[in-house]
Chains A and B, each alone.
Chain A
Amino acid sequence: MQRKQNSIKLSALFVLALLFLFMATAAAAAMADPSTSLTNIFAPQSTSAKSIFDLSLFVLVITGIIFVVVFTLLVYSIVKFRGKAVDAGREPAQVYGSTQIELAWTIIPILIVVVLFLATARVLHAVQDAPQPPGAIEVTAIGHQYWWEFRYPKLGIVTANELHIPVSDPANPTPTFLTLLSADTDHSFWIPELAGKTDLIPNHPNRMWMDPQRTGIFLGQCAQYCGVQHAKMLLRVSVDSPEDFATWVRAQQQLATQDEGVVAGRRIFETTACINCHTLRGTVANGQFGPDLTHLMSRATIASGAAQNTTDNLRIWIQSPDVIKPGSLMPAMKLSTADLDSVVSYMQTLR
Chain B
Amino acid sequence: MSSDAIVVPNVEFTSRPWVDTLHEWLTTVDHKRLGILYIVYALLFLVVAGVEALVIRIQLMHSHNNFVSPQVFNRLFTMHGTTMVFFMGMPILFGFANYLVPLMIGARDMAFPRLNAFSFWLSVLGGFLFYFSLVGANGLYGAGNAPDVGWWAYAPLTARAFSPGHSTDYWTLALLVSGFGSIGTAINIIATILCMRCPGMKLTRMPLLAWLNLVMAGMVLISVSPLSAAQIMLVIDRYLGGHFFDAQAGGSAVLWMHFFWIFGHPEVYILIIPCFAFMSEIIPVFSRKPIFGYPVMVAATVCIGFVSMSVWAHHMFSVGMNSYANSFFTLTTMAVGVPTGIKIFNWLGTMWGGRIQLKVPMLFCIAFLFQFLIAGLTGVMLGSAAFASQLTLSYFVVAHFHYTLVGGVVVAVFAAIYYWYPKITGRMLNETLGKWHFWLFVIGFHLTFDLMHVPGLLGMPRRIYTYEPGRGWDTLNLLSSVGAFIQAIGILLFVVNLLISYFKGDKAGNDPWDAWTLEWSVSSPPPVYNFASVPVVASRRPLWDLKHPEDPDSRYE
Residues in chain A within 8 A of chain B (CB atoms): 4, 8, 14-15, 18, 21-22, 25-26, 29, 32, 36-42, 49, 51-52, 55-56, 59-60, 63, 66-67, 70-71, 73-74, 77-78, 81-84, 87, 90-98, 101-102, 105-106, 109-110, 113, 116-117, 119-121, 123-125, 127-129, 145, 180, 182, 184-186, 188, 190, 192, 195-199, 201-204, 206-207, 219-232, 234, 305, 326-327
Say whether, besides A25-B451, A110-B338, A117-B330, A40 and B459 are in contact (CB < 8 Å): yes
Q: Are B466 and A231 in contact (CB under 8 A)?
A: yes
The CA-CA distance from A52 to B389 in the complex, in Å, is 9
**Residues of B361-392 whose CB lies within 8 A of A:** 366, 369-370, 373-374, 377-378, 380-381, 384-392
List, in ascending order, chain B residues with CB within 8 A of A90's CB. 355
List, in ascending order, chain B residues with CB within 8 A of A87's CB. 355
Say whether, besides A77-B352, A113-B334, A227-B162, A59 and B380 are in contact (CB < 8 Å): yes
The CA-CA distance from A25 to B464 in the complex, in Å, is 23
Distance to closest chain B CB from A281 (angstroms):
27
Distance to closest chain B CB from A202 (angstroms):
4
The CA-CA distance from A198 to B274 in the complex, in Å, is 35
List, in ascending order, chain A residues with CB within 8 A of B468's CB. 234, 305
**Size bracket of the B interface:** 35 or more
Say whether, besides A78-B351, A117-B327, A197-B392, A225 and B463 are in contact (CB < 8 Å): yes
**A-B residue pairs in contact (CB < 8 Å), sample of 12:** A25-B451, A41-B458, A81-B356, A83-B354, A109-B342, A120-B330, A185-B162, A188-B461, A192-B390, A196-B389, A229-B70, A327-B71
Say whether, besides A39-B471, A96-B556, A229-B70, A190 and B393 are in contact (CB < 8 Å): yes
With both beta carbons as reference points, the residue of chain A lying nearest to B355 in the complex is identified as A83
The CA-CA distance from A251 to B125 in the complex, in Å, is 62
List, in ascending order, chain A residues with CB within 8 A of B432's CB. none
Say whether, besides A83-B356, A124-B326, A109 and B370 are in contact (CB < 8 Å): no
Say whether, besides A95-B292, A231-B467, A120 and B327 are in contact (CB < 8 Å): yes
The CA-CA distance from A145 to B159 in the complex, in Å, is 14
With both beta carbons as reference points, the residue of chain B lying nearest to A75 in the complex is identified as B370
Distance to closest chain A CB from B61 (angstroms):
15
The CA-CA distance from A21 to B161 in the complex, in Å, is 47
Say whether, besides A117-B327, A185-B156, A186-B154, A63 and B381 are in contact (CB < 8 Å): yes
List, in ascending order, chain A residues with CB within 8 A of B392's CB. 197
Contact with A along B248-285 (1 / 0, CB 8 A): 10111110000000000000000000000000000000
Q: Are B292 and A97 in contact (CB under 8 A)?
A: yes
Say whether, besides A74-B348, A83-B355, A63 and B380 are in contact (CB < 8 Å): yes
Q: Assuming A26-B457, A93-B289, what are 10 further A-B pairs, CB within 8 angstroms?
A: A39-B471, A55-B384, A55-B387, A109-B341, A184-B161, A184-B162, A188-B318, A190-B459, A203-B252, A230-B464
Q: Are A81 and B287 in contact (CB under 8 A)?
A: yes
The CA-CA distance from A55 to B383 in the complex, in Å, is 12
Distance to closest chain A CB from B293 (angstroms):
4
Distance to closest chain B CB from A11 (angstroms):
8
List, in ascending order, chain B residues with CB within 8 A of A21's CB. 450
The CA-CA distance from A55 to B322 in the complex, in Å, is 19
The CA-CA distance from A40 to B459 in the complex, in Å, is 6
Describe A's contact surface by its main secondary structure. mixed
List, in ascending order, chain A residues with CB within 8 A of B338's CB. 106, 109-110, 113
Say whether, besides A25-B451, A228-B70, A56 and B466 are in contact (CB < 8 Å): no
Q: Are B253 and A192 in contact (CB under 8 A)?
A: no
Residue B496 CB within 8 A of the other chain: no
* Residue from B162, B293, B366, B388 within 8 A of A78 (CB atoms): B366
With both beta carbons as reference points, the residue of chain B lying nearest to A60 in the complex is identified as B381
With both beta carbons as reference points, the residue of chain B lying nearest to A206 in the complex is identified as B320
The CA-CA distance from A77 to B347 in the complex, in Å, is 11
Residue B446 CB within 8 A of the other chain: yes
Residue B358 CB within 8 A of the other chain: yes
The CA-CA distance from A91 to B458 in the complex, in Å, is 51
Q: Are A97 and B293 in contact (CB under 8 A)?
A: yes
Q: Are B394 and A223 in contact (CB under 8 A)?
A: yes
**Residues of B63-78 whose CB lies within 8 A of A:** 69-71, 74
The CA-CA distance from A93 to B388 in the complex, in Å, is 45
Distance to closest chain B CB from A192 (angstroms):
4
The CA-CA distance from A184 to B386 in the complex, in Å, is 27
The CA-CA distance from A308 to B487 in the complex, in Å, is 39
Q: Are B247 and A202 in contact (CB under 8 A)?
A: yes
Q: Are A196 and B386 in contact (CB under 8 A)?
A: yes
With both beta carbons as reference points, the residue of chain A lying nearest to B300 in the complex is identified as A106
* Residue from A29, A94, A223 within 8 A of B289 (CB atoms): A94
* Residue from A8, A83, A116, A196 within 8 A of B380 (CB atoms): A116
Residue B512 CB within 8 A of the other chain: no
Greatest chain A CB density within 10 A among B247, B392, B461, B465 is at: B461
Say whether, besides A74-B366, A92-B353, A113-B335, A228 and B385 are in contact (CB < 8 Å): no
Say whether, besides A22-B453, A70-B344, A203 and B386 are in contact (CB < 8 Å): no
**Residues of B320-335 whose CB lies within 8 A of A:** 320, 322-323, 326-327, 330-331, 334-335
List, in ascending order, chain A residues with CB within 8 A of B358's CB. 4, 8, 78, 82
Q: Are B157 and A29 in contact (CB under 8 A)?
A: no
Q: Are B320 and A221 in contact (CB under 8 A)?
A: no
With both beta carbons as reference points, the residue of chain B lying nearest to A191 in the complex is identified as B459
Q: Are B389 and A91 in contact (CB under 8 A)?
A: no
Residue B236 CB within 8 A of the other chain: no
* Residue from A225, A234, A305 within 8 A of B154 (CB atoms): A225
Greatest chain B CB density within 10 A among A40, A59, A67, A119 is at: A59
Q: Are B465 and A226 in contact (CB under 8 A)?
A: no
Q: Are A40 and B458 in contact (CB under 8 A)?
A: yes
Residue B294 CB within 8 A of the other chain: yes
8 closest cross-chain pairs (CB), A and B: A196-B389, A39-B459, A202-B247, A231-B464, A83-B355, A206-B320, A97-B293, A37-B472
